[in-house]
Amino acid sequence: MNLKIAVLAGDGIGPEISRQGVNVMKAVCEKFNHTVIFKEAICGADAIDKVGDPFPEETYNICKNADAVLFSAVGDPKFDNDPTAKVRPEQGLLAMRKKLGLFANIRPVQTFKCLLHKSPLRAEIVDGADFICIRELTGGMYFGEKYQDDEKAFDTNMYTRPEIERILKVAFEYAMKRRKHLTVVDKANVLASSRLWRKIAQEMAPAYPEVATDYMYVDNAAMRMIQEPRFFDVMVTENTFGDILTDEGSCISGSMGLLPSASTGSGTPVFEPIHGSWPQAKGKNIANPIAQILSVAMLFEHFDLMEEGKLIREAVDASLDANIRTPEIQIENGQKYGTTEVGQWIVDYILSH
Protein backbone atom coordinates (compact mmCIF):
# COMPACT_ATOMS: atom_id res chain seq x y z
CA MET A 1 0.00 0.00 0.00
CA ASN A 2 1.16 3.54 -0.73
CA LEU A 3 0.58 6.06 2.05
CA LYS A 4 1.07 9.82 2.14
CA ILE A 5 1.35 11.01 5.73
CA ALA A 6 1.33 14.62 6.91
CA VAL A 7 3.45 14.95 10.05
CA LEU A 8 2.54 17.78 12.45
CA ALA A 9 4.96 17.61 15.37
CA GLY A 10 3.81 20.88 16.96
CA ASP A 11 5.11 22.16 20.29
CA GLY A 12 6.80 21.06 23.51
CA ILE A 13 7.50 17.32 23.52
CA GLY A 14 5.73 17.01 20.16
CA PRO A 15 8.84 16.79 17.98
CA GLU A 16 10.42 14.15 20.26
CA ILE A 17 7.46 11.79 20.30
CA SER A 18 6.69 12.50 16.65
CA ARG A 19 10.09 11.13 15.64
CA GLN A 20 9.34 7.87 17.43
CA GLY A 21 5.96 7.56 15.74
CA VAL A 22 7.50 8.16 12.33
CA ASN A 23 10.28 5.63 13.03
CA VAL A 24 7.74 2.99 14.05
CA MET A 25 5.69 3.65 10.94
CA LYS A 26 8.77 3.32 8.75
CA ALA A 27 9.65 0.02 10.43
CA VAL A 28 6.17 -1.40 9.90
CA CYS A 29 6.11 -0.28 6.27
CA GLU A 30 9.51 -1.91 5.74
CA LYS A 31 8.27 -5.10 7.38
CA PHE A 32 5.05 -5.30 5.35
CA ASN A 33 6.35 -3.83 2.07
CA HIS A 34 4.32 -0.63 2.12
CA THR A 35 5.52 2.65 0.68
CA VAL A 36 5.17 5.71 2.86
CA ILE A 37 5.94 9.35 2.09
CA PHE A 38 6.07 11.82 4.98
CA LYS A 39 5.54 15.55 4.58
CA GLU A 40 6.16 17.76 7.61
CA ALA A 41 4.10 20.87 8.38
CA ILE A 42 4.01 23.48 11.14
CA CYS A 43 1.18 24.11 13.62
CA GLY A 44 0.48 25.50 17.08
CA ALA A 45 2.79 27.93 18.86
CA ASP A 46 5.59 26.99 16.47
CA ALA A 47 3.47 28.17 13.54
CA ILE A 48 2.37 31.34 15.36
CA ASP A 49 6.03 32.23 15.95
CA LYS A 50 6.90 31.57 12.32
CA VAL A 51 3.90 32.86 10.36
CA GLY A 52 1.41 34.24 12.90
CA ASP A 53 -1.18 31.48 12.33
CA PRO A 54 -1.52 28.25 14.38
CA PHE A 55 -2.87 26.34 11.35
CA PRO A 56 -1.60 28.12 8.24
CA GLU A 57 -3.04 27.52 4.79
CA GLU A 58 0.07 25.63 3.65
CA THR A 59 -0.32 23.20 6.54
CA TYR A 60 -4.00 22.75 5.71
CA ASN A 61 -3.15 21.95 2.08
CA ILE A 62 -0.53 19.39 3.14
CA CYS A 63 -3.09 17.73 5.44
CA LYS A 64 -5.87 17.87 2.86
CA ASN A 65 -3.72 16.13 0.25
CA ALA A 66 -2.46 13.40 2.61
CA ASP A 67 -4.03 10.02 3.35
CA ALA A 68 -3.70 10.65 7.09
CA VAL A 69 -2.20 13.12 9.56
CA LEU A 70 0.16 12.01 12.33
CA PHE A 71 -0.21 14.79 14.87
CA SER A 72 1.59 15.23 18.18
CA ALA A 73 0.74 18.20 20.42
CA VAL A 74 0.25 21.97 20.59
CA GLY A 75 0.50 24.44 23.45
CA ASP A 76 2.93 26.84 25.08
CA PRO A 77 2.94 28.56 28.52
CA LYS A 78 3.47 32.00 27.04
CA PHE A 79 -0.05 31.76 25.63
CA ASP A 80 -1.58 29.90 28.60
CA ASN A 81 -0.53 32.69 30.94
CA ASP A 82 -1.76 35.54 28.72
CA PRO A 83 -5.58 35.84 28.78
CA THR A 84 -5.37 38.78 26.34
CA ALA A 85 -3.68 36.77 23.57
CA LYS A 86 -5.74 37.02 20.38
CA VAL A 87 -4.17 33.97 18.73
CA ARG A 88 -3.55 30.72 20.62
CA PRO A 89 -1.96 27.40 19.65
CA GLU A 90 -5.13 25.46 20.48
CA GLN A 91 -7.02 27.47 17.88
CA GLY A 92 -4.94 25.63 15.31
CA LEU A 93 -6.24 22.31 16.58
CA LEU A 94 -9.84 23.50 16.38
CA ALA A 95 -9.22 24.92 12.89
CA MET A 96 -7.70 21.63 11.71
CA ARG A 97 -10.73 19.67 12.91
CA LYS A 98 -13.16 22.11 11.37
CA LYS A 99 -11.41 22.48 8.00
CA LEU A 100 -10.86 18.75 7.61
CA GLY A 101 -14.43 17.97 8.66
CA LEU A 102 -13.30 15.83 11.60
CA PHE A 103 -16.46 15.53 13.66
CA ALA A 104 -15.72 12.27 15.52
CA ASN A 105 -12.98 11.86 18.12
CA ILE A 106 -12.30 8.22 18.98
CA ARG A 107 -10.49 7.64 22.29
CA PRO A 108 -9.89 4.09 23.49
CA VAL A 109 -9.43 3.63 27.23
CA GLN A 110 -7.63 0.45 28.19
CA THR A 111 -5.47 -0.91 30.97
CA PHE A 112 -2.20 -2.82 30.84
CA LYS A 113 -1.83 -5.73 33.26
CA CYS A 114 1.72 -4.79 34.23
CA LEU A 115 0.69 -1.19 34.98
CA LEU A 116 -2.46 -1.68 37.04
CA HIS A 117 -0.57 -0.48 40.12
CA LYS A 118 0.04 2.87 38.40
CA SER A 119 -3.66 3.67 38.17
CA PRO A 120 -4.96 5.99 40.90
CA LEU A 121 -7.85 3.51 41.24
CA ARG A 122 -7.60 0.11 42.90
CA ALA A 123 -6.42 -2.66 40.60
CA GLU A 124 -9.59 -4.72 41.10
CA ILE A 125 -11.65 -1.77 39.81
CA VAL A 126 -9.65 -1.02 36.66
CA ASP A 127 -8.46 -4.53 35.72
CA GLY A 128 -10.15 -5.39 32.43
CA ALA A 129 -11.48 -1.89 31.72
CA ASP A 130 -11.69 -1.50 27.94
CA PHE A 131 -14.01 1.05 26.39
CA ILE A 132 -14.13 3.74 23.73
CA CYS A 133 -15.18 7.35 24.20
CA ILE A 134 -16.63 8.92 21.05
CA ARG A 135 -16.73 12.69 21.29
CA GLU A 136 -18.41 15.08 18.86
CA LEU A 137 -15.67 17.46 17.76
CA THR A 138 -16.96 20.33 15.64
CA GLY A 139 -20.12 21.57 17.36
CA GLY A 140 -21.32 22.75 20.75
CA MET A 141 -19.90 25.51 22.90
CA TYR A 142 -16.41 25.36 21.41
CA PHE A 143 -17.75 26.52 18.05
CA GLY A 144 -20.99 28.30 19.00
CA GLU A 145 -21.60 32.04 19.15
CA LYS A 146 -19.46 33.73 21.80
CA TYR A 147 -19.41 37.09 23.56
CA GLN A 148 -17.25 38.64 26.26
CA ASP A 149 -16.90 42.02 27.86
CA ASP A 150 -15.88 43.07 31.37
CA GLU A 151 -19.32 42.37 32.81
CA LYS A 152 -20.78 39.51 30.80
CA ALA A 153 -19.75 36.54 28.71
CA PHE A 154 -21.47 33.60 27.05
CA ASP A 155 -20.79 30.57 24.87
CA THR A 156 -23.63 29.03 22.87
CA ASN A 157 -24.06 25.26 22.98
CA MET A 158 -25.90 24.65 19.70
CA TYR A 159 -26.38 21.36 17.85
CA THR A 160 -28.34 20.47 14.73
CA ARG A 161 -30.00 17.16 13.88
CA PRO A 162 -27.50 16.27 11.12
CA GLU A 163 -24.55 16.88 13.47
CA ILE A 164 -26.06 14.62 16.11
CA GLU A 165 -27.15 11.90 13.70
CA ARG A 166 -23.73 11.50 12.09
CA ILE A 167 -21.85 11.13 15.39
CA LEU A 168 -24.45 8.73 16.77
CA LYS A 169 -24.11 6.64 13.61
CA VAL A 170 -20.38 6.35 14.26
CA ALA A 171 -21.09 5.32 17.85
CA PHE A 172 -23.67 2.68 16.98
CA GLU A 173 -21.33 1.21 14.35
CA TYR A 174 -18.44 1.01 16.82
CA ALA A 175 -20.74 -0.71 19.31
CA MET A 176 -21.69 -3.27 16.65
CA LYS A 177 -17.99 -4.13 16.20
CA ARG A 178 -17.40 -4.49 19.93
CA ARG A 179 -19.58 -5.77 22.77
CA LYS A 180 -22.79 -4.20 21.45
CA HIS A 181 -23.34 -1.81 24.35
CA LEU A 182 -23.72 1.94 23.79
CA THR A 183 -24.06 4.61 26.50
CA VAL A 184 -25.34 8.00 25.36
CA VAL A 185 -24.10 10.67 27.79
CA ASP A 186 -25.99 13.94 28.11
CA LYS A 187 -27.57 16.39 30.57
CA ALA A 188 -31.13 16.06 29.31
CA ASN A 189 -32.65 17.00 32.66
CA VAL A 190 -31.25 20.53 32.30
CA LEU A 191 -30.08 21.30 28.74
CA ALA A 192 -32.29 21.62 25.66
CA SER A 193 -29.40 20.59 23.42
CA SER A 194 -29.06 17.36 25.41
CA ARG A 195 -32.77 16.64 25.08
CA LEU A 196 -32.38 16.78 21.30
CA TRP A 197 -29.40 14.40 21.53
CA ARG A 198 -31.45 11.93 23.57
CA LYS A 199 -34.52 12.22 21.30
CA ILE A 200 -32.47 11.47 18.18
CA ALA A 201 -30.60 8.61 19.87
CA GLN A 202 -33.93 7.04 20.85
CA GLU A 203 -35.13 7.39 17.25
CA MET A 204 -31.99 5.73 15.87
CA ALA A 205 -31.65 2.90 18.39
CA PRO A 206 -34.28 0.59 16.78
CA ALA A 207 -32.10 0.46 13.63
CA TYR A 208 -29.46 -1.28 15.78
CA PRO A 209 -31.54 -3.90 17.64
CA GLU A 210 -28.44 -5.88 18.66
CA VAL A 211 -27.01 -2.90 20.55
CA ALA A 212 -28.08 -2.42 24.16
CA THR A 213 -28.45 1.36 24.37
CA ASP A 214 -28.63 3.20 27.66
CA TYR A 215 -28.66 6.87 28.62
CA MET A 216 -26.72 8.52 31.41
CA TYR A 217 -26.40 12.07 32.72
CA VAL A 218 -22.85 13.35 32.43
CA ASP A 219 -22.32 13.76 36.18
CA ASN A 220 -23.42 10.18 36.76
CA ALA A 221 -21.19 9.00 33.89
CA ALA A 222 -18.19 10.75 35.44
CA MET A 223 -18.86 8.98 38.73
CA ARG A 224 -19.51 5.60 37.10
CA MET A 225 -16.23 5.77 35.14
CA ILE A 226 -14.38 5.87 38.46
CA GLN A 227 -16.57 3.43 40.35
CA GLU A 228 -17.11 0.84 37.64
CA PRO A 229 -15.17 1.50 34.42
CA ARG A 230 -15.81 -2.04 33.18
CA PHE A 231 -19.49 -1.10 32.77
CA PHE A 232 -18.74 0.85 29.60
CA ASP A 233 -18.16 -0.46 26.09
CA VAL A 234 -18.82 2.53 23.79
CA MET A 235 -19.69 5.97 25.16
CA VAL A 236 -20.83 8.85 22.96
CA THR A 237 -21.33 12.48 23.94
CA GLU A 238 -21.13 16.10 22.83
CA ASN A 239 -18.00 18.20 22.53
CA THR A 240 -17.58 19.80 25.97
CA PHE A 241 -18.67 16.76 27.99
CA GLY A 242 -16.45 14.58 25.80
CA ASP A 243 -13.41 16.77 26.38
CA ILE A 244 -13.78 16.38 30.14
CA LEU A 245 -14.76 12.70 30.26
CA THR A 246 -12.00 11.54 27.92
CA ASP A 247 -9.33 13.15 30.07
CA GLU A 248 -10.91 11.55 33.13
CA GLY A 249 -10.86 8.21 31.33
CA SER A 250 -7.18 8.59 30.54
CA CYS A 251 -6.34 8.42 34.25
CA ILE A 252 -7.70 4.89 34.47
CA SER A 253 -4.70 3.47 32.62
CA GLY A 254 -2.21 5.16 34.96
CA SER A 255 -0.59 7.54 32.49
CA MET A 256 -1.81 9.92 29.81
CA GLY A 257 1.30 8.89 27.90
CA LEU A 258 -0.25 5.52 27.06
CA LEU A 259 -3.41 6.36 25.17
CA PRO A 260 -3.88 7.29 21.49
CA SER A 261 -6.83 8.77 19.65
CA ALA A 262 -8.23 9.28 16.17
CA SER A 263 -10.31 12.09 14.70
CA THR A 264 -12.34 11.12 11.66
CA GLY A 265 -15.00 12.59 9.43
CA SER A 266 -15.36 13.74 5.86
CA GLY A 267 -11.70 14.71 5.31
CA THR A 268 -8.21 13.43 6.08
CA PRO A 269 -8.22 11.53 9.42
CA VAL A 270 -5.89 12.65 12.22
CA PHE A 271 -4.15 10.29 14.66
CA GLU A 272 -2.63 11.66 17.84
CA PRO A 273 -1.78 11.00 21.49
CA ILE A 274 -4.34 12.32 23.96
CA HIS A 275 -1.83 14.23 26.08
CA GLY A 276 -0.70 17.80 25.64
CA SER A 277 2.63 19.39 24.80
CA TRP A 278 4.15 19.16 28.32
CA PRO A 279 6.54 22.06 27.69
CA GLN A 280 8.35 21.51 31.00
CA ALA A 281 9.71 18.22 29.61
CA LYS A 282 10.77 19.61 26.24
CA GLY A 283 14.21 18.39 25.19
CA LYS A 284 14.70 16.22 28.31
CA ASN A 285 14.11 12.85 26.59
CA ILE A 286 11.63 11.77 29.28
CA ALA A 287 8.29 11.94 27.43
CA ASN A 288 6.47 8.66 26.94
CA PRO A 289 6.19 7.93 23.18
CA ILE A 290 3.74 5.03 23.54
CA ALA A 291 0.56 7.07 22.99
CA GLN A 292 2.07 8.44 19.79
CA ILE A 293 3.17 4.96 18.71
CA LEU A 294 -0.27 3.48 19.43
CA SER A 295 -1.80 6.28 17.36
CA VAL A 296 0.24 4.84 14.48
CA ALA A 297 -1.40 1.47 15.20
CA MET A 298 -4.82 3.16 14.97
CA LEU A 299 -3.74 4.75 11.69
CA PHE A 300 -2.92 1.39 10.12
CA GLU A 301 -6.12 -0.15 11.46
CA HIS A 302 -8.13 2.72 9.94
CA PHE A 303 -6.93 1.51 6.54
CA ASP A 304 -7.81 -2.12 7.44
CA LEU A 305 -4.14 -3.01 7.87
CA MET A 306 -4.94 -5.02 10.97
CA GLU A 307 -1.80 -7.17 11.09
CA GLU A 308 0.32 -4.03 11.06
CA GLY A 309 -1.62 -2.53 13.93
CA LYS A 310 -1.50 -5.80 15.84
CA LEU A 311 2.30 -5.98 15.57
CA ILE A 312 2.67 -2.45 16.96
CA ARG A 313 0.40 -3.29 19.90
CA GLU A 314 2.36 -6.49 20.51
CA ALA A 315 5.62 -4.54 20.47
CA VAL A 316 4.25 -1.98 22.95
CA ASP A 317 3.02 -4.73 25.29
CA ALA A 318 6.41 -6.44 25.07
CA SER A 319 8.25 -3.21 25.91
CA LEU A 320 6.09 -2.65 28.99
CA ASP A 321 6.46 -6.26 30.12
CA ALA A 322 10.24 -5.96 29.71
CA ASN A 323 10.25 -2.73 31.78
CA ILE A 324 11.48 -0.68 28.83
CA ARG A 325 9.63 2.36 30.12
CA THR A 326 9.96 6.10 30.50
CA PRO A 327 10.35 7.40 34.07
CA GLU A 328 6.70 8.07 34.95
CA ILE A 329 5.76 4.39 34.61
CA GLN A 330 9.07 2.67 35.36
CA ILE A 331 9.22 0.21 38.25
CA GLU A 332 11.09 1.26 41.38
CA ASN A 333 14.86 1.06 40.84
CA GLY A 334 14.26 0.03 37.22
CA GLN A 335 16.69 0.99 34.49
CA LYS A 336 16.18 4.45 33.06
CA TYR A 337 14.94 4.69 29.48
CA GLY A 338 14.19 7.87 27.59
CA THR A 339 11.81 8.72 24.76
CA THR A 340 14.36 7.73 22.13
CA GLU A 341 15.39 4.47 23.80
CA VAL A 342 11.80 3.26 24.23
CA GLY A 343 10.98 4.14 20.65
CA GLN A 344 14.09 2.37 19.32
CA TRP A 345 13.36 -0.77 21.37
CA ILE A 346 9.88 -0.95 19.83
CA VAL A 347 11.29 -0.40 16.33
CA ASP A 348 13.82 -3.20 16.87
CA TYR A 349 11.07 -5.52 18.11
CA ILE A 350 8.95 -4.82 15.03
CA LEU A 351 11.83 -5.48 12.63
CA SER A 352 12.83 -8.73 14.36
CA HIS A 353 9.38 -10.32 14.65
- The strand pair at 104-110 and 212-217 is best described as unpaired
Q: Is 80 a known active-site residue?
A: no
The one-letter amino acid code at 144 reads G
Q: Is 142 a known active-site residue?
A: yes
Helix (H) / strand (E) containing 236 = strand 234-237
82, 214, 219, 348: which one is catalytic?
219
| CA atoms of 344 and 42, how far apart (whole Å) | 25
49, 130, 155, 243: which one is catalytic?
243
Q: Is 243 a known active-site residue?
A: yes
60, 142, 174, 215: which one is catalytic?
142
Largest CA distance in the chain: 63
46, 98, 187, 337: which one is catalytic?
187
Q: What are the residues facing 212 on neighbouring strands? A: 181
Q: Is 50 a known active-site residue?
A: no
Rg, the chain, Cα only: 20
| DSSP of 33-75 | T-EEEEEE---HHHHHHHHS-SS-HHHHHHHHTSSEEEEEE--
Sequence-distant (≥ 6) Cβ neighbours of residue 107 within 8 angstroms: 132, 133, 134, 135, 246, 249, 250, 259, 261, 274
Q: Is 31 a known active-site residue?
A: no
Question: Do 292 and 20 form a contact (C-beta atoms < 8 A)?
Answer: yes
| CA atoms of 83 and 153, how far apart (whole Å) | 14
| CA atoms of 258 and 251, how far apart (whole Å) | 10
Enzyme catalytic residues: 142, 187, 219, 243, 247
